[in-house]
Chain A
Amino acid sequence: MNTPAKAGQRQGSALFHGLVVAALALFILLPFAQSLIMSFTSTMPRDGIPEGSYSFINFISIAVTPDLRESVLNSTFYVLLNVTLCLVAGLPAAYAYSRYSFTGDRHVFFLLLVFRLTPPVVLSLPIFILFSKFGLVNSPVGIALVHCLFNVPIAIWVLESFISAVPRELDETAFLDGYSLPGFFFRHLIPVIAPGIGVTAFFCFIFSWVEVVFARILTVTAGKPITMAMNALLGIRPDFGLVAAMNIIALLPGLGMIYFVRNHLARGFVIRT
């Protein structure tokens, strides 16, 4: 059935796909290219380095500035804590939604959606007052907690889809074999839905690492994450080269996450609603 007409058509569509991908790549990569160029450009008058020349000075500045170094650690810490919290709280809840119906389940699900949709600006003031009572201001722990507002609903939603793809017989045989619920979770369920845990961690990461409204209001004097360290650099006459270099460093964990889940994204995951 390989007629010349069909082969020609296939070639035509391959060419079309190539063109679309090239246009997309240009659109997406252009701002990144700009940042990359700027991060290697000295954008401030300095002794020995002419303004506008290529240099590593921005990356060296980051390495020797304690505030900037510390912000990388703060960000890493709060994101890891947030992803852990979301998985620990989300997994049992997702299991409950996948396997049982219970009084008020639909209402609670809508409530979770409501909190995912609540704009952070709306809650920023009372969150600040509440968290300062518990001593959670100026600490990455506070940021990790407050980001659960939008990430726990996401975790429950993504994990529920993955758990529902697992046949109920897995649960039943494990329980017949005498496993308790936690034992079943760790020995059977988690290994089977490992890709789902990866995808969940990816979504929690992309919404937490980049968030700025809560991160700003909760870190007044200390515990600043990368985003706020960069905000502090945007003064009257900002050193855009340094900001761009910091931005490049802030991108690295994200690139790692994307690489980590690439096959799961491409294989597609069934989402049920």
Chain B
Amino acid sequence: MKPHDNRAWLLLLPAMTIMLLVGVVPLVSVFNYSFHDIFTLQDLHWLGLDWYREIVRSERFHGSLARSTLFSALVLSIQLPLGIAIALMLTHAPRWRTPVLMLLALPLVVPWNMIPIMWLNLISKQGLLGQAFLAMDAPIDARFNTLHTWIVLLAMDTWHWLGLVVILSFAGLSGIPQDYYRAAAVDGASRIAVFRHIQLPKISSVLSIAILLRFVDSFMIYTEAFRINAGGPHRATTFLTLDLGEEINSFTYGAAAARSMVYFLLVITVAWSFRTIMDRRKGALEGINT
């Protein structure tokens, strides 16, 4: 049990000072702007909840919210199983560990504005993949074909972030003591049983971080999605952040601030309920063990 000592707060001071400056103060400002109509920053008009009402009732918002939710759901259902499967394979194949982890980390160090450029070049008619598909008589059309645009976005996002899921899952798996596996072998447990009853519960906390990071970053995808097709064709890939980008570019700051707050609340609500569920499950497991 850790000793209770409130002097520990002193150790948090440097971190808290930075977070106050770059996090709390800006967030409070956005909150304040969201109740105003803003012409210039010296010329604010109190509006109350008008912006919020307008946003929450608009069909545009509902459409973008549905598309972003679908995108996040697809991203998670592709990247999590795939990432966990690769991490499991690495535990059985020691000699591939370093090369595969290095390989999968590569896309993580590519600047985000270059990722869509790399993919657009790859699928263009002169690109390696574009030519291959052209040769198979199935040209990729990420400009006017909705399905193709979605597939390109999902492939690109998986390419970009699979490494993070694998690195975190593998870190979780390698923290499991060998005794657990020996005990399972004595019991004659199958691979599936080992995964279900030892590995999955043991990596659940690290996975929850991976899920949260992947959820937020896909739900709020901007740079990559915008470059591929600017939200088209016919708004089919207009996600929540693309709406916000439009508002900021047209200088309607009050509305943009209100929209920012709505997104912020959405993300925090999901994070908070997710954490509550995880805590409750953890509590239940500990209850069984003691």
Please encode chain A, from 258 to 273, with 1 for each CB lying within 8 Å of some chain B CB and 0 for all others: 1100110111111111
Knowing A85-B18, A259-B102 are in contact, say whether A117-B97 is a contact too (CB < 8 A).
Answer: no
B111→A31 contact, CB < 8 A: no
Of residues A96, A112, A148, A251, which shows the largest number of chain B Cβ atoms within 10 Å of its Cβ?
A: A96
Please encode chain B, from 254 to 284, with 1 for each CB lying within 8 Å of some chain A CB and 0 for all others: 0011001101100110011001000000000
Interface of A is mostly: helix
Question: CA–CA, A13 to B93, complex, Å?
Answer: 9
Is A92 in the interface zone, CB < 8 Å from B? Answer: yes
A93→B92 contact, CB < 8 A: no
Question: CA–CA, A268 to B206, complex, Å?
Answer: 12
Please encode chain B, from 219 to 261, with 1 for each CB lying within 8 Å of some chain A CB and 0 for all others: 0101100000000000000000100110010000100110011
Q: With contacts defined as CB atoms under 8 Å apart, how many contacts are there between chain A and chain B in the complex?
A: 268
Chain A nearest CB, measured from B22 CB (Å) = 5
Chain B nearest CB, measured from A209 CB (Å) = 7
B263→A30 contact, CB < 8 A: no
Which parts of B122-176 form the interface with A (CB within 8 Å)?
Answer: 122, 127-129, 159, 167-168, 170-175
Please encode chain A, from 79 to 123, with 1 for each CB lying within 8 Å of some chain B CB and 0 for all others: 000000100111011011001111101001011111111110111
A156→B15 contact, CB < 8 A: yes
Q: Which of B2, B118, B127, B168 contacts A101 (CB 8 A)?
A: B2
Stretch at the interface among A33-41, A53-61, A62-70, A186-194: A33-41
Q: Which of A24, A33, A116 contacts B128 (CB 8 A)?
A: A33
Is B190 in the interface zone, CB < 8 Å from A? Answer: no
Which parts of B91-123 form the interface with A (CB within 8 Å)?
Answer: 92-93, 96-114, 117-119, 121-122
Is B25 in the interface zone, CB < 8 Å from A? Answer: yes
Is B6 in the interface zone, CB < 8 Å from A? Answer: yes
Is A240 in the interface zone, CB < 8 Å from B? Answer: yes
Q: What are the residues of chain A within 8 A of B118 when measuring CB–CB?
A: 31-32, 34-35, 247
Q: What are the residues of chain A within 8 A of B110 when measuring CB–CB?
A: 210, 247, 250-251, 254
A114 to B, closest residue via Cβ: B268
B220→A119 contact, CB < 8 A: yes
A117→B216 contact, CB < 8 A: yes
Knowing A17-B92, A21-B99, A102-B9 are in contact, say whether A247-B15 is a contact too (CB < 8 A).
Answer: no
Question: CA–CA, A124 to B5, complex, Å?
Answer: 37
Which parts of B198-225 form the interface with A (CB within 8 Å)?
Answer: 205-206, 208-209, 212-213, 216, 220, 222-223
- Counting from the closest, the 10 A-B pairs by CB-CB distance are A254-B109, A268-B174, A126-B29, A96-B11, A119-B220, A270-B175, A273-B205, A126-B26, A92-B11, A96-B8
Is A243 in the interface zone, CB < 8 Å from B? Answer: yes
B253→A125 contact, CB < 8 A: yes
Question: CA–CA, A99 to B128, complex, Å?
Answer: 53
A-B contact pairs, 28 of them (CB 8 A): A17-B92, A21-B100, A31-B122, A31-B159, A32-B118, A37-B128, A38-B121, A92-B11, A93-B12, A95-B11, A96-B11, A121-B220, A121-B263, A125-B30, A126-B26, A129-B29, A157-B209, A226-B111, A227-B111, A243-B114, A244-B121, A250-B111, A251-B110, A265-B167, A268-B171, A270-B171, A271-B175, A272-B205
Q: What are the residues of chain B within 8 A of A85 when measuring CB–CB?
A: 18
Q: What are the residues of chain A within 8 A of B205 when measuring CB–CB?
A: 271-273
Q: What are the residues of chain B within 8 A of A258 when measuring CB–CB?
A: 102, 105-106, 109
A127 to B, closest residue via Cβ: B26
Of residues B15, B107, B121, which shows the largest number of chain A Cβ atoms within 10 Å of its Cβ?
A: B15
Knowing A34-B128, A206-B109, A247-B114 are in contact, say whether A123-B86 is a contact too (CB < 8 A).
Answer: no
